[in-house]
Structure 1
Amino acid sequence: MVKEIMSGNEAIARGAWEAGCSFAAAYPGTPSTEIIENLSAIKEVSSRWANNEKTALEMAIGASIGGLRSLAAMKHVGLNVAADPLCAVGYTGVNAGLVVVTADDPGCHSSQNEQDNRLYARLAKLALVEPSDSQECKDFVKAAFEISERFDIPVLFRVTTRICHSKGLVALEQPGEIPVKPYQRNTKKYCMLPAMARVRHAFREESLKELEDYANSCPLNKIEWAGDRKLGIVTSGISYQYAKEVFGDSASILKLALTNPMPRALITEFCSAVDKIYVIEEGEPFIENTVRSLGFACIGKAKVPILGELNAQIVRTALVGPTEQGGYSVDLQAPPRPPVLCAGCPHRGFFFSLQKNKKQIVAMGDIGCYSLGVGEPFGGFDISTCMGAGISGTIGLAKALEMQGDPRKVLGMVG
């Protein structure tokens, strides 16, 4: 079997191809961008960039209903833009399999927040799959398409920056023969008028029960028993790697990968068999809340930080305590090197010109590399919230300044 070193994003693209994915759409944004870049190099997959995440998902939904296995990819904040079709397709379901990749960014490496998009799976009533390395990215995308078609449900495929960009060995396979599913008109399924939506909601609740039964016994969720059962760890995604690095074989681990709906019977079986329970996860207490709702006391966000990206040292310090052997250190202090606008970037001239009128202007920025103009020496704008707000936000800000007699003009920028 051929093996290659791949990033998580490269492996997702490879897995989609092996699964017979025929259509992919995305809007670029770190850490998800390389998924569609790699898919675009595969002639069997019709790939395209979209104007935004909403239209990317709508393209993929249309292809899925039409009979093509389809994938949409975006970074975590992009799923906010796509929330309208996401919640609708949670009711309609699919024809051919539909996988929606959300690339979350704990630690805000290139984003304006650390939102945990696992919560969208519950909101929109989707299946949720979380891989923990590059091999699983490839294998679990294939499984996600199978789950999507078997249970008539879109699958939210949640990865994080560390999964997207870390590399590992991936065993490659060839795609099987996945026929295009014929399109059939079905207004009761695909037209979300109120009368149809109420019926589809009831269908979805029943299908989620069936999917939970599957999650309790499927190979994506598994128990790794230790020699004794004093300590049990429930975890998912990249946090599984940190748990293994810190605890090794000294703790039993329930490794979850299909996490919505939660496999409550499996969690109950595991937690009933151990004396002490740790829940290790990045972001919100998504798994922890389920464990607690089942009546089990556990240690999770009380010690494991809810802020930022985890690593093995953070997990070790939180749950084991400081170790005598710390990391390597030197006496020298490295100078700070924040990201800056590239040499020769035309935004530099714009922000330089803007400085001449700063006393007469209140500027609102937007999302993009030019947001680096907020720092010195430019000080290019005062406010930046989300993509597009650099224009629309100026309307409210201008009225606020007017009503308090502030003579300054509001300048909006987007690019």
Structure 2
Amino acid sequence: MKILKTFGADASAADAVIQQLERRGAINTAKVDTVVRDILSAVQNRGDAAVREFAANFDGLTGDQPFIVSRAEMQQAWDAISEELKAAMRLAQANIRSFAERQLPRAWSFRPVEGMEVGQIVRPLGSVGCYVPGGRYPLPSTLLMTVTPAQVAGVERIVVCSPKPARETMAAAYLCGVTEFYRIGGAQAIAALAYGTETVSAVDKIVGPGNLYVTAAKMAVSQHTGVDMPAGPTEIVVASEDGDSTGIAADLVAQAEHDPEALAVFITSKPELALEVVLEVKRQSQGNPVAQQSLAAQGIAFVTKTVEEAHLLTNRLAPEHLTVDAGADLRWVKNAGSIFIGHHTPQSMGDYISGPNHVLPTGRNGRVRGGLSVLDFVKVITVQQYTLDALREVGPHTIALAEAEGLVGHAESVRVRMR
């Protein structure tokens, strides 16, 4: 992890790195776009046969293994895990459910004038595909984070895809009551969910994080089926002026160990704190090769000239995970996927147990949306109704606007109903 000052001799180098980080979403997926589009095309044209070929090459799926994970396998996995892990999964599921229930939008209506009623109704999506990474680490937490809010929303068909699903992931699926679970991953799983195959029926929307290939695939199919967001390799920014270097370093190492492509950034106006954090990161990452690789490639501690500049830089980066010193810092935060406040709130709590979703926007998409939520699994449909008296009162205003735009048919459609 290197230190860069945004002023003085380092200013030019720091600015170049910051600009590169601001372009990171497009740059990263561009590296794999050609391969991904070939995979998508193959699955779209050859269905199960192409999926099986890619799954055999990338995920070690053998010829006699079915795509689908049976409920019996899920139950066996649940029975095999420890009571301690079962309790942790139950608590995580309960917290995620409670949080999603509070996020769920409600139907409502009101009358701007007598006889004119407008409002909204809320309906769940018909089907969703939940992608659960299954490569370097088993991620049962991601299954809980994607399936549970979909259930709260009332989605009728929930499909899980995960390559080489670990026992813990299958156990989480059993706890959630998943009935459609496929042991496929990568761009081929995204293609199957988007286009459908002989075995996998297409879904209305695909959610969940993944590597660069999964992220690029989701972006490529987004004109064909709904997707949540580009949720690629993990990102962390810690912005601190008086934090504890041990805790800050621990969070940076924890998120860096997700993926060699993970981005770990520390921002401060205190040079001495930056040095302490970098040294502590080096110490804590010993024996953690993935974190070491990530931190060596993408780990940066920016030292700014002022606190205000540190805040501006943080918002420019729009990180997936952001840790700040205190609740008062919420006043200046504009762009982030999820915010963690203070020394006693490690980001890992949000990864597993707090309730807010850990599927979060990466590649600076924190500028335009927050993390996955129950809102991703519902449609808010607007409703309106007039009586004749209300139409006669309000309709002339619509006629005036329509005629001003030259849309005489619009005006007439109102006029004929006012008679």
Structure with higher RCO (Cα < 8 A, 6+ apart): 2
Structure index of larger Rg: 2
What TM-score range do you get, normalising by the shorter chain?
under 0.3
Q: More helix by proportion, 1 or 2?
A: 2
TM-score (norm 1): 0.23
